[in-house]
């Protein structure tokens, strides 16, 4: 027993500086103390040993009572994965698990009334140098309506990243850099869900909380006015089916764990596919959910070290410092009557990147062999190609390395490359969002050797995708505000180095000790602090135009349509 308790304590100690765990426990601790959701879900020696001992509670006896009361075969799920036949796997299940008693217990359903009060705002001091904001609403638990993906529909639209979206407007005003949504990380609490919108803010955005809330509700009002859109649901279904059909192999342990969870949530016929796409369109259900996304039912958390002056409380388990206030009635009234913002917000466009031709071309290159071959070689570039003869997917994967030794010259140059990368990624978000929904991938990494670009996606729209990205990279011009915003973000990242885990420090210092031209965190911070926009602009233009060599490889199911990727007249 003590050994297990010590293991739990070690796990808790690893989470102490993890702001995501700290914020989630603060959210839980803010609900009614009598509600099960209030409880500490990680545990440590204080909660499982010292406090029970003070109250005269025998933890082992309580554990056995809990087991006898709640453990029953009808509440358990099991997934077996192996090379054996189905008959053999079934026999394993019978032999190893048939002795588990079935007490025919009912599934616990929890009260959705979590909080003593709604419309509260929390000012939270993080460990890392974060500037974030989250808005949460308690919403119905739709276990009987899982096949509609109604929350996915709302999250897809509220967190859309293309032109006309909430995030696009927040970025235009330079108030936020990212936006995402989740529904109740604690899926064991049947009876309610927590629908949360989370934003990463800029320095300026952290001072504009009321204005950001206004934009959020104006966007929600726009969605309510248009009503549920069947074409958007159908597009989501089409994309989900493609993702399901062409998913890559995952870790076997992760797979059986996910399938076991799904068995508790979905009908047996839907266990494999229900995570990927909806099976029904239910506009009335979607319409009804808007009634929960209202100002007087929300809970807001704003996270920044600037709130130390407001932090007059500390969460019990992690010690997270925070202040809690009621949202001003005047603000709630303004949010209730904020109306629309037709100049900024509109529904997304149809996705031009959805692949329609998904046929696999058998032996497209007529026996390419086991090794990649050079299909183009010049003083400026070299292209390698290898046909996919193993995985059988109508996809292509392409890597381009822009070889330039500029990053070896100074810490300032490597930070310029990092800023170049982050500024491009930020501006590419809107362009790439539709492509990423359609299972196209793009990533960009910088190093002392240069810049690496990775592309992936279906054959059918690969050229469209590649051309748009390359044309953007070659034609985009940065401005001073872009530079200042990303410089501020990078400075926070470098200042957070000391809060990272020991393994991150070990890996960095190992590279620093054995690799050439790896610059210390102190050198990088100093170089970044001294960097101005004019110097950045001059050096990154020099990087793109002087002494570069392009090395690339294309792998996949190449068709005649996409052979132009490596022809001499191609991009």
Among the residue ranges 435-444, 476-485, 553-562, the one predicted with the least confidence is 553-562
Among the residue ranges 40-44, 438-442, 471-475, the one predicted with the least confidence is 471-475
Among 544, 562, 555, which residue's Cα sits nearest to residue 454?
A: 555
Range ranked top by mean pLDDT from 120-134, 507-521, 555-569: 120-134
Q: What are the φ and ψ backbone dihedral angles of 58, each rounded to 5 degrees?
A: -90, 110
460-468 mean pLDDT = 91
pLDDT of residue 446: 77
Q: Are 372 and 386 in contact (CB under 8 A)?
A: yes
> Which neighbouring-strand residues pair with 552?
383, 400
Bigger pLDDT: 102 vs 371: 102
Confidence label for 568 from pLDDT (cuts 50, 70 and 90)? very low
Span 119-139, pLDDT tens digits = 999 999 999 989 999 999 999
pLDDT of residue 179: 93
Query: Is beta strand 549-556 parallel, antiparallel or unpaired with respect to 120-124?
Result: unpaired
pLDDT of residue 185: 46
Query: Reduced to 3 states, what is the DSSP secondary structure of residue 305?
Result: helix
CA distances from residue 473 to 304, 341, 401 in whole angstroms, order as listed: 34, 31, 14
pLDDT of residue 361: 75
Confidence label for 441 from pLDDT (cuts 50, 70 and 90)? very high
Confidence label for 569 from pLDDT (cuts 50, 70 and 90)? very low
Confidence label for 535 from pLDDT (cuts 50, 70 and 90)? confident
Among the residue ranges 84-88, 321-325, 336-340, 563-567, the one predicted with the least confidence is 563-567
pLDDT of residue 355: 93
Among the residue ranges 37-41, 224-228, 300-304, 506-510, the one predicted with the least confidence is 506-510
Query: Reduced to 3 states, what is the DSSP secondary structure of residue 376?
Result: strand
The answer for residues whose C-beta is within 8 angstroms of residue 362's C-beta and 6 or more apart is: none
* Rounded-to-integer distance, Cα 28 and Cα 324, Å: 14
pLDDT of residue 333: 96
pLDDT of residue 13: 92
Bigger pLDDT: 3 vs 507: 3
> Which neighbouring-strand residues pair with 384?
374, 553
Span 232-281, pLDDT tens digits = 999 999 999 999 999 888 899 999 999 999 998 899 999 999 999 888 89
Write the secondary structure of 433-460 as one string of H (helix), E (strand) and C (coil).
Answer: HHHHHCCCEEEEEEECCEEEEEEEEEHH
10-32 mean pLDDT = 92
Among 526, 533, 515, 536, which residue's Cα sits nearest to residue 491?
A: 526
């Amino acid at each position: 027993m003590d050994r297990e308790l010590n293991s739990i304590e070690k796990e808790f100690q690893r989470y102490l500086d993890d702001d995501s765990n700290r914020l989630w426990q603060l959210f839980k601790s803010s609900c009614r103390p009598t509600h099960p959701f209030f409880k500490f879900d990680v545990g440590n020696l204080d909660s499982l040993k010292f406090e029970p001992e003070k109250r005269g509670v025998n933890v082992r006896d309580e554990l056995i009572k809990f087991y006898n009361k709640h453990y029953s075969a009808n509440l358990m799920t099991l997934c077996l994965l192996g090379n054996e036949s189905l008959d053999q796997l079934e026999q394993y299940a019978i032999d190893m698990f048939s002795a588990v008693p079935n007490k025919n217990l009912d599934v616990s359903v929890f009260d959705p009334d979590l909080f003593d009060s709604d419309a509260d705002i929390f000012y939270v001091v993080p460990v890392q140098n974060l500037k974030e904001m989250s808005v949460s609403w308690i919403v119905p638990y739709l276990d009987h309506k899982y096949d509609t993906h109604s929350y996915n529909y709302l999250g897809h639209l509220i967190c859309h990243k293309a032109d006309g979206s909430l995030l696009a407007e927040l970025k235009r005003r330079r108030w936020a850099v990212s936006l995402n949504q989740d529904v109740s990380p604690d899926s064991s609490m049947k009876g309610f869900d927590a629908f949360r919108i989370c934003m990463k803010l800029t320095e300026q955005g952290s001072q504009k909380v009321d204005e950001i809330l206004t934009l959020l509700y104006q966007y929600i009002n726009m969605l309510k006015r248009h009503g549920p859109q069947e074409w958007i649901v159908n597009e989501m279904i089409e994309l989900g089916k493609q993702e399901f059909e062409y998913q890559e192999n995952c870790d076997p342990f992760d797979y059986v764990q996910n399938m076991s969870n799904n068995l508790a949530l979905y009908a047996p016929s839907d266990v494999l596919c229900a995570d990927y796409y909806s099976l029904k369109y239910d506009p009335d259900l979607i319409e009804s959910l808007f009634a929960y996304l209202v100002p007087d039912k929300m809970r807001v958390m704003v996270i920044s070290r600037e709130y130390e002056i407001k932090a007059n409380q500390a969460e019990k388990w992690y010690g997270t410092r925070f202040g809690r206030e009621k949202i001003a009635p005047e603000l709630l009234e303004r949010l209730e009557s904020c109306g629309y913002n037709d100049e900024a917000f509109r529904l997304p466009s149809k996705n031009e990147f959805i692949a329609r031709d998904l046929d696999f071309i058998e032996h497209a290159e007529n026996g390419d062999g086991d090794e990649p071959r050079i299909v183009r070689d010049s003083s400026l570039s070299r292209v390698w190609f290898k046909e996919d003869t193993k995985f059988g997917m109508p996809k292509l994967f392409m890597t381009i390395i822009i070889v330039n030794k500029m990053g070896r010259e100074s810490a300032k140059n490597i930070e310029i490359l990092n800023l170049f990368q982050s500024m491009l990624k930020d501006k590419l978000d809107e362009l790439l969002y539709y492509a990423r929904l359609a299972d196209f991938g793009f990533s960009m990494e910088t190093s002392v050797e240069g810049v690496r670009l990775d592309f992936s996606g279906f054959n059918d729209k690969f050229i469209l995708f590649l051309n748009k990205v390359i044309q953007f990279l070659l034609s985009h011009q940065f401005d001073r505000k872009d530079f200042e915003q990303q410089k501020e973000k990078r400075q926070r990242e470098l200042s957070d180095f000391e809060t990272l885990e020991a393994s991150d420090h070990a890996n960095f210092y190992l590279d620093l000790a054995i690799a050439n031209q790896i610059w210390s965190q102190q050198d990088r911070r100093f170089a970044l602090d001294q960097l101005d926009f004019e110097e950045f602009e001059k050096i990154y233009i020099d990087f793109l135009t002087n002494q570069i060599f392009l090395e690339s490889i294309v792998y996949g199911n190449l068709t005649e349509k996409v052979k132009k990727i490596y022809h001499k007249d191609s991009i």
